Amino acid sequence: MKKLKEPDLENLIQLLSRLPSIGPKSARRLALHLIKHKSNLMIPLHQAIVKVQENIIKCDICGNLKSKGDKCICANDSSDQICVVENIADMWAMESTSVFKGQYHILGGTLSALNGSNPEQLLINSLIERVKKHKIKEVILAISATIEGQTTAHYIHDSLKSLNVKITKLAHGLPVGGEIEYLDDGTLFSAFKFRNSFNNKG
């Protein structure tokens, strides 16, 4: 990308281009749009980002987001089912289907030797503790059908199999290599509704 004379504007464009699905051209358009609408967009956006940066944190137990000083929703959830997902976006995708009313557990990613992501970096140990402490009857592995996702699912299954808990996985409609976040509601609803035992090869 051709260098700009205004270093502050160039820095803004570079930062915007780091966002998912935002390339250099899109970043330029966004930057110019923000400048054009300073009072009703740029300033409120800046204020919102600062508030989120200062007040929103990740729960160490379930991985969900919460406000500083507040109890996470997982503290008061009495459901005996936990749906395990990779990230917040996957949880939101699941919630949009209204098919699940239990607890969620956000791992924070998947196991990946390539990216150096190991079990200690994911919320797997806290999942095990939640299953033990709250006498969970079913753990639903709603994890993407990627190599990393399935490696993670198998690791979790092996970590939980000694406990008295049913372990299931998403079924129909989940394509190989498919990521939960990008599935349509109908496909996700079907995959969840017809989930089966993790040991079932079908």
User: Structurally, how many domains does the chain consist of?
Assistant: 2
CATH code at 86?
3.40.1360.10
156 shares a domain with 188: yes
**pLDDT 10s digits, 116-135:** 889 999 999 999 999 999 88
Q: Which domain holds residue 137?
A: 77-197
93 shares a domain with 46: no
**pLDDT 10s digits, 84-113:** 999 999 999 888 888 888 999 999 999 987
Cα separation of 97 and 180, whole Å?
12
35 shares a domain with 127: no
The mean predicted confidence, pLDDT, of the chain is: 87
pLDDT score, position 96: 87
pTM, entire model: 0.80
Residue % of the chain over a pLDDT of 90 = 61
Residue 63 resides in a domain? no
CATH code at 12?
1.10.8.420
Cα separation of 131 and 165, whole Å?
8
Secondary structure (3-state) at 11: helix
